[in-house]
Amino acid sequence: MIKAYLGVDVGSVSTNLVILDANNQVIAGTYLRTNGKPIVVVQEGLHQIGQEISKDIEICGVGATGSARYLTSLIIGADIVKNEITAHAMAASTVIDDVKTIIEIGGQDSKIIIMRDGVVTDFAMNTVCAAGTGSFLDQQANRLCIPIEHFGDYALRAKTPVRIAGRCAVFAESDMIHKQQLGYNTEDIIAGLCEALVRNYMNNVGKGKDIKPPVIFQGGVAANQGLVRAFNKYLGVEVIVPEAYGIMGAIGAAMLARRASKKKGKTKFKGFNIQEIEFKTTSFECKGCSNACEVVQFFENEELAARWGDRCGRWELH
């Protein structure tokens, strides 16, 4: 049997699953749209990736990361649950040993990770403004009737990028519309938007950070070559986009699972065919004190399996 490790990264926009071998080589991977249904998509993704691999692969450890990592861990039976900072840093270190700066832009948030000698020394996240995220780019591509996959190609064809106000998503969109009304061509507007998003990122997420090369750019938005060029121009260095840029979080989770499995010696993995299991969540507001915590309940086949969300631990399952 071939020992392998599964990493699952469930975010607001995408759900990524990766299986690594003992040498951190990708055996299989899949990218799915979360579409607001993390439970269903994780079930589908597991079934799909399970069909791709051979029968002689044994999953020895499972890791979960992403904004829905706790929910995901209960669905799949994860052995370790880690935040995105740890997972992305872990994966980036396999691409470049001495990576010093990690730029990660996802669907709903963006982050910067500063590393020195293989250790995270500083980081910052932006979960407030949408102007520097993949969701905003999706919206603008849709408004311009351009497939998001071709958005970066338009930016690369620009001759003179237009100055777009990128401090806020609302202002950026209104400024783009204004520039269109003035007659600027689409390529220059898109290139200007890419540069505005980079300025927004650097002035918010990257503000005050000691950014040094090598710089890695990962996350689904790294597919946009217009943004890559804009980062190169702003930073004055060539940012590196890993081959597996879109699934780096899942790769990091799988690597962490391998480390955890060595300590535990066994896995809680429920298997690839969990579509038959019925998972559902409910919530209620606790009236026990003035905190008014919203408690989430997780059910597996009608049986209460977990609760979370309370601050005092009153509703924890023991």
pLDDT per residue as tens digits for the range 90-136: 999 989 989 999 999 877 778 999 999 999 999 998 756 655 566 77
- Is the Cα torsion angle 49, 51, 54, 60 positive or negative in sign? positive
- In this structure, are 83 and 106 located in the same domain? no
The model's pTM is 0.87
CATH, residue 226: 3.30.420.40
Structure-model confidence comparison of residues 23 and 317, the more confident one: 23
Residue 20: per-residue pLDDT? 95
pLDDT at 152 over 90: no
- In this structure, are 142 and 122 located in the same domain? yes
Residue 65: per-residue pLDDT? 96
**Phi/psi of residue 215, each to 5°?**
-115, 125
DSSP for 244-274? TGGGHHHHHHHHHHHHHHHHHSS-----S--
- In this structure, are 103 and 233 located in the same domain? yes
**Average pLDDT in the 130-150 region?**
74
**Domain of 42?**
2-88+249-264
In the block, tokens 């990493």 appear at 7
pLDDT at 169 over 90: no
pLDDT at 48 over 90: yes
- In this structure, are 142 and 230 located in the same domain? yes
- In this structure, are 219 and 296 located in the same domain? no
pLDDT at 276 over 90: no
Structure-model confidence comparison of residues 276 and 4, the more confident one: 4
How many other CB atoms are found less than 10 A from the CB of residue 39? 20
Is the residue at 314 inside a domain? no
**Phi/psi of residue 208, each to 5°?**
80, 5
pLDDT band for position 156 (50/70/90)? confident
Is the residue at 316 inside a domain? no
DSSP for the chain? -EEEEEEEEE-SSEEEEEEEETTS-EEEEEEEE-TT-HHHHHHHHHHHHHHHS-TTEEEEEEEEESTTHHHHHHHHT-SEE--HHHHHHHHHHHH-TT--EEEEE-SS-EEEEEEETTEEEEEEEE-S--TTSHHHHHHHHHHTT--GGGHHHHHHT-SS------SSHHHHHHHHHHHHHTT--HHHHHHHHHHHHHHHHHHHTSTT----SSEEEESGGGG-HHHHHHHHHHHSS--B--TTGGGHHHHHHHHHHHHHHHHHSS-----S--TTS-EEEEEEE--SSTT--EEEEEEETTEEEEEE--SSSTT---
Residue 1: per-residue pLDDT? 85
Q: Is 249 in contact with 113 (CB distance < 8 Å)? A: no
Is the residue at 195 inside a domain? yes
pLDDT band for position 180 (50/70/90)? confident
CA-to-CA separations, 290 to 284, 293, 309, in angstroms, rounded? 15, 8, 15
- In this structure, are 110 and 77 located in the same domain? no
Beta bridge partners of 7: 18, 63
Is the residue at 295 inside a domain? yes
pLDDT at 187 over 80: yes
pLDDT at 2 over 70: yes
Domain count, the chain: 3
CA-to-CA separations, 211 to 116, 132, 234, in angstroms, rounded? 11, 18, 12
pLDDT at 313 over 70: yes
194-247 confidence digits (pLDDT tens): 888 888 888 888 889 999 999 999 988 888 899 999 999 999 999 999 999 989
Give me the percent of the chain exceeding a pLDDT of 70.
Answer: 96
- In this structure, are 221 and 105 located in the same domain? yes
- In this structure, are 73 and 121 located in the same domain? no
Residue 167: per-residue pLDDT? 65
Is the residue at 143 inside a domain? yes
For residue 36, give the amino acid letter: G
- In this structure, are 192 and 217 located in the same domain? yes
- In this structure, are 81 and 189 located in the same domain? no
pLDDT at 44 over 90: yes
pLDDT at 5 over 80: yes
Q: What rounded mean pLDDT belongs to the chain? A: 88
Is the residue at 272 inside a domain? no
- In this structure, are 284 and 169 located in the same domain? no
Least confident of 19-33, 42-56, 181-195, 243-257: 181-195
Cβ-in-10-Å burial (0-12, 13-18, 19+) of 191 comes to buried
Is the residue at 273 inside a domain? no
- Is the Cα torsion angle 105, 99, 120, 64 positive or negative in sign? positive
pLDDT at 318 over 60: no
pLDDT at 140 over 70: yes
Is the residue at 66 inside a domain? yes
- In this structure, are 68 and 105 located in the same domain? no
